């Protein structure tokens, strides 16, 4: 199997770095036993179909991508593995935890129309029939002006423009997997009654920015337990540990929350942020946003380039 596509950057899946949309639809699957030979071909076809659908549904800003679970990768693609691909990290401290729910496949669909997403999901499921079992389906939506259901703007720290690709896509550090992205997902359930029961100032101190104006606190004013303090990290060289967030709210009248999606050229940044949220800084300063929301799922994936998926079919 040929995996190195030469000096040119392979074709990445468009949905990884796409700008935000009004609606999302996420499909999580586990593969049937012995499905791999057929599944490799079908997944390459689905990824190509999603890519072609970007132009066909340009008026709705359609995009999507296919990602393969860290625990399933070697079964599906035994001949090559992304250098840093590993299972979802398991962190737990007191009543705070990041549950792990390994899933074989994650298919991410987004556009500005619910019906377009639904039709795309039907097509994906039709192509995968007999090869997988649907584990979970989540439908998300844009809330107000890109806010989480807590009322705060989400993704303010996201990279912009061409920097999105620099943050999200693997480069020359792993030549066989250039154009791919390490994907981490968590479905968070918010305790909205508890959140709405505290004052506006307490909410703002929990996040580290103002609610309506979306103004970040000055550095000296940020509580050590605020969400921004616990997630805006730097590496040993003082460089920001950025991720591209593709998260969106979801909800019914029984349950509301955030479907968190991290896309990055390395899993290290997400893992460091999650550890900082749960374990804190070693002095008891964990992320107090976790007093109001709880992750109920967690899984790690890799979204390979279109070229890799096609070459893997042989």
Q: Return the active site residues.
A: 154
Question: Which tokens belong to 262?
Answer: 């991290």
- Indicate the Cα dihedral angle 270, 275, 277, 278, nearest 10°: 140
**Spatial separation of the C-alpha atoms in residues 167 and 265, rounded to whole Å:** 6
- CA–CA gap between residue 77 and residue 83 (Å, rounded): 13
Two tokens, residue 309: 């998926």
CB 87, CB 1: distance < 8 Å: no
Provide the 3-class DSSP secondary structure of residue 291: helix
Residue 262 backbone dihedrals phi, psi, to 5 degrees: -110, 130
34: left (phi over 0), alpha (psi -120 to 50) or beta: left
| Token pair of 147 as six digits | 């806010």
Q: What is the DSSP letter of 190?
A: E
End-to-end Cα, the chain, rounded Å: 6
- Name beta bridge partners: 161: none
Q: What single DSSP character describes residue 31?
A: E
């Amino acid at each position: 199997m040929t995996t190195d596509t030469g000096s040119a950057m392979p074709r990445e899946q468009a949905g990884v770095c796409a700008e935000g949309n009004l609606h999302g639809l996420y499909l999580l699957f586990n593969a049937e036993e012995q499905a791999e030979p057929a599944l490799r071909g079908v997944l390459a076809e689905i990824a190509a179909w999603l890519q072609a659908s970007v132009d066909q549904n340009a008026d709705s800003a359609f995009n999507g991508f296919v990602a393969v679970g860290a625990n399933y990768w070697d079964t599906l693609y035994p001949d090559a593995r992304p250098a840093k691909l590993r299972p979802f990290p398991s962190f737990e401290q007191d009543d705070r935890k990041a549950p792990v729910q390994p899933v074989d496949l994650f298919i991410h669909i987004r556009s500005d129309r619910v019906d377009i997403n639904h039709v795309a999901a039907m097509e994906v499921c039709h192509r995968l029939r007999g090869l997988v079992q649907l584990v979970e389906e989540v439908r998300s939506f844009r809330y107000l002006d890109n806010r989480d259901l807590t009322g705060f703007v989400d993704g303010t720290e996201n990279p912009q423009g061409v920097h999105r690709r620099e943050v999200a896509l693997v480069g020359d550090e792993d030549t066989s997997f250039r154009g791919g992205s390490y994907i981490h997902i968590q479905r968070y359930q918010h305790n909205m009654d508890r959140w709405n029961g505290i004052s506006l100032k307490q909410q703002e101190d929990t996040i580290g920015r103002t609610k309506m104006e979306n103004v970040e606190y000055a550095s000296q004013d940020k509580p050590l337990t605020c969400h921004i303090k616990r997630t805006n990290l730097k590496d040993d060289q003082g460089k920001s540990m950025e991720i591209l967030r593709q998260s969106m709210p979801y909800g019914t009248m029984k349950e509301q929350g955030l479907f968190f999606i991290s896309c990055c050229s390395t899993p290290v940044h997400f893992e460091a942020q999650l550890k900082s949220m749960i374990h804190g800084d070693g002095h008891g300063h964990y992320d107090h946003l976790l007093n109001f929301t709880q992750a109920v799922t967690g899984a790690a994936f890799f979204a390979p380039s279109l070229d890799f998926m096609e070459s893997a079919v042989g």
